[in-house]
A and B are shown apart, each in its own frame.
Chain A
Amino acid sequence: MARKMLVDEEMNQTNQEEAHYDFDLFVIGAGSGGVRAARFSANYGAKVGICELPFHPISSEVIGGVGGTCVIRGCVPKKILVYGAAFGSELEDARNYGWELNEKLDFNWKKLLHKKTDEIIRLNGIYKRLLSNAGVKLFEGEGKIVGPNEVEVTQLDGTKLSYSAKHILIATGSRAHRPPIPGQELGITSDEALSLEDLPKHAVVLGGGYIAVEFASIWRGLGANVDLFFRKELPLRGFDDEMRAVVARNLERRGINLHPQTNLTELIKTDNGIKVTTDHGEELIADVVLFATGRLPNSKRLNLEAVGVELDNTGAVKVDEYSRTRIPSVWAVGDVTNRMNLTPVALMEGTCFAKTVFGKEPSKPDYSHVPCAVFSIPPLSVVGLSEEQAIEQANGDVLVFTSTFNPMKNTVSGRQEKTVMKLVVDAETDKVLGASMCGPDAPEIMQGIAVALKCGATKAQFDSTVGIHPSAAEEFVTMRSVSRRITCRGKPKTNL
């Protein structure tokens, strides 16, 4: 259906007067998905305009910045802080390798913060250059859709610009949201957490998702006391249960206080800090309370309803498999569609959009075997199905191979922390359905495994690959014995 519409349109194209529109494409939002779609469309020869809110590390209805969440308030600054925090334990580990360090190591939060901000400003500049090099016209201001082929940009000084475009792409992303509890204004979201003036002494984190876990790891790594509250029994809902337990154990061992099945009910400002009350009646005093309780699509101020673009009940823009909304000339990619909220997925959606609309090659993003990583310390990375998903989807038996081992570095450092790896295999076809790992370098290791899984690699193909010795990754190709076999009814048959 979607494909047919496209073809029809392309056929009509020749009959239309091209000069009728100011732009072939106007993109609202210059984050990962928007910049990718704009650049690639321009490379296909389209005339492209893009608008983005002014730059600032903390986003709002009227603040954003070229580069978007990933570059300014997500992946990049987060990873920088994780690097900074990981040194804490790294340096401890150095002692048994013969290094003599001061008892108490000095860490300067302001320096890290300053350098992080410098880096994201640099990247913001690179993204702007990328756009101009591709011939994309950048407007600073807030974009709104006025009609199916009409956008309006409100500039900083309040003046409004109006442009017509053959296609409009919504790529406005999402923003962190706060739970509606009394005193919620005392808490912060991940935006502020990436730009705190001072390193917290005692941080409370609410949430069990990857953002919560990452910030808990960052602050703990830099020496803060951290209490992590989440609704479920384990953090990281949706990930493999066994790996969730591994992450929880690692966080705990590294000194984070876990509060499963606990919610926050109220925040009160006191002289000593923020008094946090839980639904179990506990009270804590913290200097920082982080809400990592999810993100909501930035779809409110775009005037979407007026032009007939449909939203779902979470506020996400509804799109078909080609990222097209209900209005044929309006499209949407990235977090604002709330499909799979990852930078590389937004890039894939943006690329497919450009191919579909301007490359004469209708392309659907492929959401199978999308790998991802949680940059907790140590990190978790997965691709494909979790054991639970595999059991649910399998026709026959599922074989689970696990390897739990002490990484070689720990044998001398003395750190008590096991790396865990797991392969989930379809017993009948021998296909590897899922891979996961929690331990140092997991995200780097998983990328290549993801290529293999994407192409339906079998366990036999893993086994036939020679290991790289000594590495952690070689465990993935040397898992000889089945840890357990699970019938399609989901009951363990043997446990060797």
Chain B
Amino acid sequence: MATTSFTAPKLSSPTFQTLCRNFPLSLPIPKTLSSFSFHLSPFLSRFHLHHHHYHPPRFHPRRLFAVRAESENGAEPIRHYDFDLFTIGAGSGGVRASRFAANFGASVAVCELPFSTISSETTGGVGGTCVLRGCVPKKLMVYASKYSHEFDESNGFGWKYDTEPKHDWSTLMANKNAELQRLTGIYKNILNKAGVTLIEGRGKIVDPHTVDVDGKLYTARNILISVGGRPFIPDIPGREYAIDSDAALDLPSKPEKVAIVGGGYIALEFAGIFNGLTSEVHVFIRQKKVLRGFDEEIRDFVGEQMALRGIQFHTEESPQAIVKSADGSLSLKTNKGTIEGFSHIMFATGRRPNTKNLGLESVGVKINKNGAIEVDEYSRTTVPSIWAVGDVTDRINLTPVALMEGAALAKTLFQNEPTKPDYRAVPSAVFSQPPIGQVGLTEEQAIKEYGDIDVYTANFRPLKATLSGLPDRVFMKLIVCAKTNKVIGLHMCGEDSAEIAQGFAVAVKAGLTKADFDATVGIHPTSAEEFVTMRSPTRKIRQSSESQGNMGHEAETAAGV
């Protein structure tokens, strides 16, 4: 029901027709969102002045429907709300939706928990996971930790250190936290400038149009839940001694010997961070390989490269208990045995949506078995006035996806433009060392979906490594649909992968073909140019015969100098 009402707006409602006369829809619509808001906001604020207590159902057919339904009930002819939109959670998705909604002329409030580097039921902070406990601090730690590799590299380029560079943990933490403080301030400013009311406190939904923030009630035409997710540690004996990624980003001192449980991207990123900052690192994974869900060759390659940098992998080993010994050190008991002497044991065993104590059950917002809020393609929950974006919906848990969902929602609600987030060809990166960049399908997915595919790979020693003498290599892979020649998957592991993948993501999203890649001239000398100089497929996979074998790409790769 919720979705069908988007398709055909009925113009029978008198309020909507009045609105159309007051607000000429023939306004020239500039091409970009922000210039639109630039033109629109002054007009709308005047509009508000004249209609003090009247919040018209602006543009959006769905809301028109809601209002009409209410009118037909006769109980509530035209209801006044404190806000057009009340957002619970000021992370990436919430801030984006709130700002854009305000730019489109809506009155918006957002509530968020007080700032802390460690999240809990009572702490959070404007900026959310990405800024405070995710992407940003993680990347800063990656920058810091990458230096030890760069010191080694620089030796090969003639640089020398009289004394081995030493790392001071507290300097890094202080500078990192200063940056996080600055960013949370910037986010507050952004909200403020957009005219969004920021309320500090814990939001809880009371009814489909009311939010309770620490005892104070606010009404809103629409409520957006964007409370994100939090790390999850399984319930094993001694779990109280374990740390999660929140804590790992803000340790008071360097972990001397750390166990990381988990094989996902967070586990690998922290393994690289601690290894680079000269901790002894052990990674425990349940499966044979790291990064389930990624392309198999990438999984193998990144594991090998990380092992070469000194990280010890314990495969097919599941944690069963943590024991603290008298000297304060920790032991990890697994299905294969016990390893002792850890200063820290970190669990990177997944994240769970923050859906507890939000009042969701009482208003009828449906939650799936993982605790994620169920939403339709427009991010609407089972309650028509309540919406959800970002990690709390557990769709694709990435900041830029939450931004896309937030922006789409603002358009849907306040710009008369029902917009579905587009989840096709979403690129992503793993900031392991070396990093991974990818977009589109893995080889396994591609075979399943298309059957006949051509796979192009390159595995080479980058120019920098020939001088540094380090065993660093780069792996690249293109997956091409045999029938259409379209590039349907692109994967890379090696230096700069994340930066390199972005431009190619535009090409893959635009549906470009292998011939288009080939027609592009390389930038020499770069690693990225390999993606436009892959001439012969490494293998052709056909549904009839499994594979047509190696096409002699080894010689090809050597020529790519």
Give the B-binding residues of A (Cβ under 8 A).
70-71, 75-76, 79-80, 83-84, 87, 90-91, 94, 96-102, 105-112, 115-116, 119, 122-123, 126-127, 130, 133, 342-345, 347-348, 366, 369-373, 381, 399, 408-409, 411-413, 441, 443-452, 454-455, 457, 459, 461-462, 464-474, 476-477, 480-482, 496
Contact = CB atoms under 8 A, between A and B. Distances in A.
Contacts of B555: 133
Contacts of A472: 499
Nearest to A87: B154
A485 to B, nearest CB: 10
Given A99-B166, A461-B509, A451 B467 contact: no
Nearest to B153: A87
Contacts of A481: 32-35
Interface string B549-561: 0000001001101
Given A97-B144, A105-B160, 6 more contacts: A412-B143, A455-B519, A466-B505, A476-B503, A480-B34, A482-B32
B6 interface: no
Contact of A464 (B498, B509, B523): B509
B463 A96 contact: no
A369 B520 contact: yes
B490 to A, nearest CB: 9
Contact of B158 (A108, A366, A371, A468): A108
B399 A469 contact: yes
B341 interface: no
A79 B158 contact: no
Q: Which 7 A-B pairs have the closest CB atoms?
A: A448-B503, A473-B502, A447-B528, A448-B504, A98-B172, A112-B158, A449-B503
A100 B38 contact: no
Contacts, number: 292
Interface in B96-140: 130, 135-136, 139-140
Contacts of B422: 464
A451 B523 contact: no
Nearest to A441: B499
B437 interface: yes
Interface string B520-561: 111111111101100000000000000000000001001101
Contacts of B427: 465-468
A447 B523 contact: yes
B429 interface: yes
Contact of A408 (B140, B172, B401, B425): B140
A452 B510 contact: yes
A133 B559 CA distance: 11
Contact of B502 (A111, A413, A477): A477
- The SS class assigned to the B binding surface is helix
26 contacts: A75-B524, A76-B561, A79-B525, A83-B463, A91-B150, A100-B166, A372-B523, A373-B524, A408-B136, A411-B140, A413-B143, A444-B499, A445-B500, A447-B500, A450-B521, A452-B512, A455-B512, A466-B401, A468-B429, A469-B399, A471-B429, A473-B499, A473-B500, A480-B33, A482-B31, A482-B35
A373 B526 contact: yes
A360 to B, nearest CB: 18
Nearest to A127: B561
A87 B160 CA distance: 11
B95 interface: no
Interface in B417-455: 422, 425-429, 437
A322 B504 CA distance: 30
Given A412-B143, A445-B503, A457-B510, A105 B161 contact: yes
A443 B35 CA distance: 31
A480 B527 CA distance: 29
A91 B159 contact: yes
A369 B463 CA distance: 26
Contact of A455 (B398, B400, B437, B510): B510
Q: Which of B422, B517, B526 has the most CB of A within 10 A?
A: B526
Nearest to A408: B139
A464 B143 CA distance: 29
Contacts of A97: 140, 143-144, 147, 171-172, 175
Contacts of A101: 161, 165
Contacts of A70: 524
B232 interface: no
B237 to A, nearest CB: 35
B503 A71 contact: no
Contacts of B156: 115
B22 interface: no
Contacts of A105: 159-161
Contact of B503 (A91, A100, A473, A496): A473
A381 B523 contact: yes
A97 B528 CA distance: 28
B499 A445 contact: yes
A451 B509 CA distance: 12
A399 B31 CA distance: 10
B466 interface: yes
